[in-house]
A and B are shown apart, each in its own frame.
Chain A
Amino acid sequence: MRFGLGPLTIESIAGKQHVDTYEEALEQAEIAERWGFDSVWVDERNFTPGAFNSSASVVGAAVAQRTTYVRVGLMPLAGLVNAIYVAEEVACIDNISNGRVIVACGEPGERVAAGWGGDASVDRIRDDLAVMRKAWGPNPFNHHSPYHTIPAEMAVHTVAAGLHSISVQPKPAQLAVPLWMAGTSIAAEVAAAEALPFFGPAHLSLEELRPLYSRREPGPGEIVPLAREVFIARTGEEAHESARPALERLYARLGEPADAGSGSFVDLARDRFVIGDPEQCIEQLYRYQHELGVNYVVARLAYHEMHAGETARAIQLFGQAVVPEFRMFGLPDEIRRLA
């Protein structure tokens, strides 16, 4: 199993300057790299009262600069704008990071899509993916669909006349940028249709995830990723004490799942959040591995509600006490107990 940190939320927190939250997020990325994580993830949320980070590209480039080895997980929303913009930005970050980008395209949701005059449909998202793949490929291309006309070949553009194609530049450093689909039912449908890894979100419970992950059988060696809210401390009590207020406030701001505010925290956390001491975290993560076939967990761990030192300790502890259990096949019990 592999592990990532994130997606970093970078929202506005009472009592903290927003600008400091951005710096805190970059520090969390560096800490994850230091403690052996495989990747750091950045998503984007638009029009949120909590002022969550709204550009995966801008922060992704910053994470790429601050790190050397971890992959940079980018979660741009599809369906909002001409996909060439996203393709160009990803290619730039892939070069800043010397080929460390993974892209998990997000479904925007109807409300966000409407704000952009975009489209959250399966067809539109698949069309965006097609444009991005062509843009990253080595050949000049054209693309004519209900959503994209590339190039337009307008008579008024005389200098471009007769070319019939464009070449998006620069090319990514990687031969093929790893592509996943992030979101819920629309993302799962796109992932199934395009044979891409489906990346389930942190806010869905195990039961809700089951039908989404069963849509398609992953191929041999294929990545099966999942995002989870994770918080870890030396004792289960300590972990819950820290995680509860941070997660309660985060989910109230996110407004998801829709019933987040109505039930108790225990109900919200059940089969959804991974909170505890190392043993408890390991046990809970095994369930996702066994029941969904997950082999790549992106653990949030970094909550801006907490003191930065507290999240730093959690990232370190997760790296030392949980990651080895899943990564080090055949780890002798004598060494496991040494923590």
Chain B
Amino acid sequence: MGKVDVGVGIWSLQSTKTGPRHFSYLYQELIEDAQYVDELRTISTIWQTEHHFWYDGYCPSLLTVAGGIAAATKHIRIGQAALLFSQHEALRVAHQAAVLDQLSAGRLDLGLALGYRDNEFDGFNIDRRVRRQRFEEGVEVLRRAWADGPVNFEGAQFSVPDVAVTPKPYQVDVPIWVAAVGPKPVERAARMGASIILSDALTLDQVRSHIALYRECAEAAGTTGSGAKMGVLRRGWVAETNEEAFSEALPSLRFLLREQLGGWRYLVDEHGEPVGFDRPSELDAAAAKLVAVHERTIGRPERVVRGIREIASAGADHIIFGTRFDSLPRAKYLRSLELLATEVIPHV
């Protein structure tokens, strides 16, 4: 097991039904959390998550909000888990990511995903069926936009003429991370030599097999030297005792998985079919299975250290520790972050 970096996430800035908040409170809280985490120093990244037109205000503009995080912090890297790239204009993402990378002095970890909600594609007038093509062409637009010289890209989804994007990013190679639930994005990332962020909907065995798949595909594509990171999103919570951690975090975790993932039709059954509210018993079963997965990174520091090592032994070298649960008391949440930074990460 090599070195494991631990980041925290995933800020969504939702004003939910059970935990309604003024949006300004949520955005201010994100900035304060980012400063707090930045000062703890051992946490290496902070990650946000994106949706559009979702009833609770789920944050739609990650690179913009990251501008606020960059201005508030000095050390921590800033990532997206993930920006729904197929729903964006690639040229706009190229400009904003370059500016953000300059503004943060090279602290951008650009996390990209396909997106999957019909409502979002429909709102943007983008046919969901072209999302893979949009993603792949979009990545090529990013590469050309950040290289010297004009973009000159002619694709089926994007067409960018003889224009040079300015400014360029601060980093010579802005790390690109690809978010993945199923095997296809893993293969895509491996071909690109990009890092991956494996979904919180995956079991440890699935994480292991996805990472093995990545290595295999990277070998075949000749991208093994890219320095790609194997990231995994895991829900987690740290308290002084296991009992405290369970009683604080588990009800919120259950709620998150059951209600939110159900609403997004994000969970899939063994046939790859979405499990939504129309299939309540399957949703309950899927959520229960995932609670068992994430329980292993919930508890007192020693337990969480073991949980993280277990994920690392499956091949992961970057864990996004998902501590953002709805409706938890802020003091306890900050204490969980502090324990993660001081009692967990140094011992992983």
Q: Give A residues with C-beta under 8 Å from B.
A: 12, 18-19, 22-23, 26, 44, 46-55, 57-66, 80-82, 84-85, 88-89, 91-93, 95-96, 98-99, 114-117, 148-154, 156-160, 163, 166-171, 173
Find A159's partner among B27, B117, B163 (CB 8 Å cutoff). Answer: B117
Q: Please name all residues of chain B whose beta carbon is closer than 8 Å to the beta carbon of A58 when the two chains form the complex.
A: 63-64, 66-67, 96, 99-100, 103
Which chain A residue has the least Cβ–Cβ distance from B72? A65
Find A82's partner among B71, B96, B119, B124 (CB 8 Å cutoff). Answer: B124
Q: Please name all residues of chain A whose beta carbon is closer than 8 Å to the beta carbon of B165 when the two chains form the complex.
A: 46-47, 54
A-contact 0/1 string along B51-79, CB 8 Å cutoff: 01111111111011111111110000000
B71 touches A18 (CB 8 A): no
Q: How far is the CA of A89 from the CA of B98 in the complex (A)?
A: 16
Given contacts A81-B89, A116-B91, contact A19 B125 (CB under 8 A): no
Find A160's partner among B13, B63, B118, B164 (CB 8 Å cutoff). Answer: B118
Q: Please name all residues of chain B whose beta carbon is closer than 8 Å to the beta carbon of A18 when the two chains form the complex.
A: 102, 167, 170
Find B57's partner among A57, A64, A170 (CB 8 Å cutoff). Answer: A170
B88 contacts A by Cβ under 8 Å: yes
Find B26's partner among A59, A95, A160 (CB 8 Å cutoff). Answer: A95
Q: Please name all residues of chain A whose beta carbon is closer than 8 Å to the beta carbon of B122 when the two chains form the complex.
A: 151-154, 157, 160, 166
Q: Please name all residues of chain B whose beta carbon is closer than 8 Å to the beta carbon of A152 when the two chains form the complex.
A: 121-127
B55 touches A61 (CB 8 A): no
Q: Please name all residues of chain A whose beta carbon is closer than 8 Å to the beta carbon of B91 when the two chains form the complex.
A: 115-116
24 example contacts (A-B, Cβ-Cβ < 8 A) are as follows A19-B105, A19-B106, A46-B163, A48-B166, A50-B166, A52-B167, A59-B99, A61-B71, A62-B103, A65-B69, A65-B72, A80-B92, A81-B89, A84-B123, A91-B61, A95-B24, A115-B91, A116-B91, A151-B125, A152-B122, A160-B119, A169-B57, A170-B15, A173-B23
Q: Please name all residues of chain B whose beta carbon is closer than 8 Å to the beta carbon of A148 when the two chains form the complex.
A: 125
A61 touches B68 (CB 8 A): yes
Q: How far is the CA of A99 from the CA of B27 in the complex (A)?
A: 12
Given contacts A54-B95, A85-B92, A95-B27, contact A159 B61 (CB under 8 A): no
B27 touches A96 (CB 8 A): yes
Which chain B residue has the least Cβ–Cβ distance from A140? B53
Q: Please name all residues of chain B whose beta carbon is closer than 8 Å to the beta carbon of A52 when the two chains form the complex.
A: 166-167
B330 contacts A by Cβ under 8 Å: no
Q: How far is the CA of A46 from the CA of B145 in the complex (A)?
A: 12
Q: How far is the CA of A150 from the CA of B60 in the complex (A)?
A: 16
B16 contacts A by Cβ under 8 Å: no
Find A163's partner among B23, B96, B119, B265 (CB 8 Å cutoff). Answer: B119
Q: Please name all residues of chain A whose beta carbon is closer than 8 Å to the beta carbon of B103 when the two chains form the complex.
A: 22, 58-59, 62
Q: How far is the CA of A334 from the CA of B103 in the complex (A)?
A: 45
Least CB distance, B315 to chain A, in whole angstroms: 34
B3 contacts A by Cβ under 8 Å: no
B19 contacts A by Cβ under 8 Å: no
Q: How far is the CA of A230 from the CA of B42 in the complex (A)?
A: 45
A157 touches B121 (CB 8 A): yes
A54 touches B166 (CB 8 A): yes
Least CB distance, B39 to chain A, in whole angstroms: 16
Which chain A residue has the least Cβ–Cβ distance from B129? A156
Q: Please name all residues of chain B whose beta carbon is closer than 8 Å to the beta carbon of A114 when the two chains form the complex.
A: 161
Q: Please name all residues of chain A whose beta carbon is closer than 8 Å to the beta carbon of B57 when the two chains form the complex.
A: 169-171
B159 contacts A by Cβ under 8 Å: yes
Least CB distance, A143 to chain B, in whole angstroms: 10
Number of A-B contacts (CB under 8 A): 199
Least CB distance, A191 to chain B, in whole angstroms: 25
B128 contacts A by Cβ under 8 Å: yes
Q: Please name all residues of chain A whose beta carbon is closer than 8 Å to the beta carbon of B92 when the two chains form the complex.
A: 80-81, 85
B314 contacts A by Cβ under 8 Å: no
Which 7 A-B pairs rank lowest in CB-CB distance, beginning with the nearest?
A: A61-B67, A62-B71, A170-B57, A157-B118, A159-B118, A58-B67, A115-B163
Q: Please name all residues of chain B whose beta carbon is closer than 8 Å to the beta carbon of A160 when the two chains form the complex.
A: 118-119, 121-123
Q: Please name all residues of chain B whose beta carbon is closer than 8 Å to the beta carbon of A153 when the two chains form the complex.
A: 122
Find A98's partner among B24, B69, B88, B163 (CB 8 Å cutoff). Answer: B24
Q: How far is the CA of A22 from the CA of B56 in the complex (A)?
A: 33
B54 touches A169 (CB 8 A): yes
Given contacts A115-B161, A159-B117, contact A57 B61 (CB under 8 A): yes
What 4 additional pairs, Cβ within 8 angstroms, besides A48-B166, A61-B68? A54-B166, A57-B64, A61-B64, A163-B119
B68 touches A96 (CB 8 A): yes
B124 touches A84 (CB 8 A): yes
B27 touches A55 (CB 8 A): no
Q: How far is the CA of A171 from the CA of B53 in the complex (A)?
A: 11
Q: How far is the CA of A96 from the CA of B55 in the complex (A)?
A: 19
Q: Please name all residues of chain A whose beta carbon is closer than 8 Å to the beta carbon of B286 when the two chains form the complex.
A: none
Q: Please name all residues of chain A whose beta carbon is closer than 8 Å to the beta carbon of B160 when the two chains form the complex.
A: 115, 117
Which chain B residue has the least Cβ–Cβ distance from A47? B163
Which chain B residue has the least Cβ–Cβ distance from A117? B159
Find A151's partner among B54, B71, B123 (CB 8 Å cutoff). Answer: B123
Q: Please name all residues of chain A whose beta carbon is closer than 8 Å to the beta carbon of B67 when the two chains form the complex.
A: 55, 57-62, 65
Which chain B residue has the least Cβ–Cβ distance from A149? B125
A173 touches B119 (CB 8 A): no
B61 touches A157 (CB 8 A): no
B241 contacts A by Cβ under 8 Å: no
B281 contacts A by Cβ under 8 Å: no
B168 contacts A by Cβ under 8 Å: yes
Find A93's partner among B52, B64, B118, B265 (CB 8 Å cutoff). Answer: B64
B31 contacts A by Cβ under 8 Å: yes
Least CB distance, A147 to chain B, in whole angstroms: 10
Least CB distance, A326 to chain B, in whole angstroms: 30
Q: Please name all residues of chain A whose beta carbon is closer than 8 Å to the beta carbon of B102 when the two chains form the complex.
A: 18-19, 22
Find B64's partner among A92, A154, A156 (CB 8 Å cutoff). Answer: A92
A-contact 0/1 string along B169-208, CB 8 Å cutoff: 0100000000000000000000000000000000000000
Q: How far is the CA of A176 from the CA of B31 in the complex (A)?
A: 24
A55 touches B59 (CB 8 A): no
Q: Please name all residues of chain A whose beta carbon is closer than 8 Å to the beta carbon of B327 when the two chains form the complex.
A: none
Q: How far is the CA of A46 from the CA of B96 in the complex (A)?
A: 11
